[in-house]
Amino acid sequence: MGSKERREREKQATRDSILTATRQIAESEGWSAVTIRRIADSIDYTAPIVYQHFKNKEDALNAVVQEEFERLIHMMESASASEKNPEAALLKLSEAYLEHALSNLRMYELMNGMAGVDLEATFRCDGCARVCEVAEEALGRWAASRQILFPNVRDIAETLWALFHGAICIVLINPCDVALEKARRLSMQTLQDLMLSWEVRYRMA
């Protein structure tokens, strides 16, 4: 390995350590507890080293948002691809979205502008748009398999998001095991009810 490649790997490793520390601080104390000084202290770096990678706390948090949306999208795409049947694929994709949110409630707050920190909306909006696109693709495949024609598939995708977001927000109020299980069960049950209603309403003659 050349010296340039080694430096690049070391730079990436440092960046990864900073973002991991950012997540860990937030998980234990909340996103408002994250500061450049706290990040540096937690990984035995000096603040100037952190500033070499991120211009401020908000920059680091935006990077966390970007990374987590990439992870979510990968989870959803992998879940959908694991099933050949379009209905099963749509359900698996939905389960993946729910599981990501319910297993990472603090992260969900940050990704959806609910963490009490002032971040630029661009990264969040771009991530949400890509999540919708993945959902639209799965919805489109399922609709085609059922001879359904949605007037606007984006509206249908956003209806799903509204369903899941509402269930997740209820859990955020009372994040106990019973609430988590109920959110999973009722969200998926309601999705299946919606799918039945869409078949009746939008099936092509």
Q: 199 and 129 in contact (C-beta within 8 Å)? A: no
Q: Is the pLDDT of residue 118 over 70?
A: yes
**Fold (CATH) for 57-202:** Tetracycline Repressor; domain 2 (1.10.357)
CATH 1.10.10.60 in the chain is located at 1-54
Instruction: Name the pLDDT band for 6 (thresholds 50, 70, 90).
Output: confident
Q: What is the mean pLDDT of residues 106-123?
A: 92
Q: Which residue has the higher pLDDT, 4 or 109?
A: 109
**pLDDT at site 1:** 58
Tokens linked to 79: 């879940």
Q: What is the mean pLDDT of residues 126-131?
A: 95
Digit-coded pLDDT (tens) for 72-103: 999 999 999 999 999 999 999 999 999 999 99
**pLDDT at site 30:** 92
Question: CA nearest 80: which of 128, 142, 124, 125?
Answer: 142
Tokens linked to 86: 């379009």
Q: What is the DSSP letter of 120?
A: -
Digit-coded pLDDT (tens) for 34-74: 999 999 999 999 999 999 999 999 999 999 999 999 999 99
Q: Is the pLDDT of residue 17 over 70?
A: yes
- pTM confidence score: 0.92
How many whole angstroms separate alpha carbon 107 and alpha carbon 65? 8
CATH 1.10.357.10 in the chain is located at 57-202
Q: Is the pLDDT of residue 130 over 80?
A: yes
Digit-coded pLDDT (tens) for 165-200: 999 999 999 889 999 999 999 999 999 999 999 999
Which residues, 6 or more positions from 89, have their beta carbon under 8 angstroms from its beta carbon? 79, 80, 81, 82, 83, 138, 141, 142
**pLDDT at site 157:** 97
Question: Is CATH 1.10.10.60 the classification given to domain 1-54?
Answer: yes
Digit-coded pLDDT (tens) for 137-173: 999 999 999 999 999 999 999 999 999 999 999 999 9
